[in-house]
Amino acid sequence: MSNTNVIVLGGNLGADPEYRANPKTQKGVLSFTLATKKHRWNETSQDFDETVVWSNVKMFGNVADRARQSLSQGDEVTITGELCKDQWVDKNTGENRSAHYVTAHSFNRHLKKAESSSAGQQNNHRQPPQVAAAKNNHRQPPQVAAGPVITPAPGSDRRSGNRSA
């Protein structure tokens, strides 16, 4: 049996990420919460109930630096990482405490429809007229027959495949 610790979450950032430099390594640490939706069938109402599950996410080093520049509250993002656990003793009560979080190794920010359409419009304006005209040329590829095309040999009978003498 192999041990695997991989987690993939897709959701929305609950607040702007918090960035700080780790005093020991001088590398960046980015922390945020990610809201993911969970749907469960409700027998009583005969409909799906939607609940939100909040996950704490941390990023380190170069990934944190890249995410710091592009992520903000409400952004839809997919992260891939591993599940981690912090353990400590509560100073006030002396009880053992723990908390799970996700260490994200990579992320993908999803563009909203307004962003993707405006990005496409901006790109069209920056292109030379020849490139824009080539993009708008909607030539269809030639139609290809569905099956193999068999042409009979000259002088053969098409129905039987025998040559006529």
Q: What are phi and psi of 14, to 5 degrees?
A: -80, -25
Of the candidates 22, 110, 119, the residue with the CA atom closest to the CA atom of residue 65: 22
The structural domains of the chain, with segments of one domain joined by +, span: 7-113
Round the average pLDDT of the chain to a whole number and report it: 78
Taking the whole predicted model, whether its pTM rises above 0.85 is answered as no
- Into which CATH architecture does domain 7-113 fall? Beta Barrel (2.40)
Q: What share of the chain has pLDDT > 90, as a percent?
A: 50
Give residue 127's pLDDT.
42
For the stretch 71-104, pLDDT in tens is 999 999 999 999 999 999 999 999 999 999 999 9
Give residue 11's pLDDT.
95
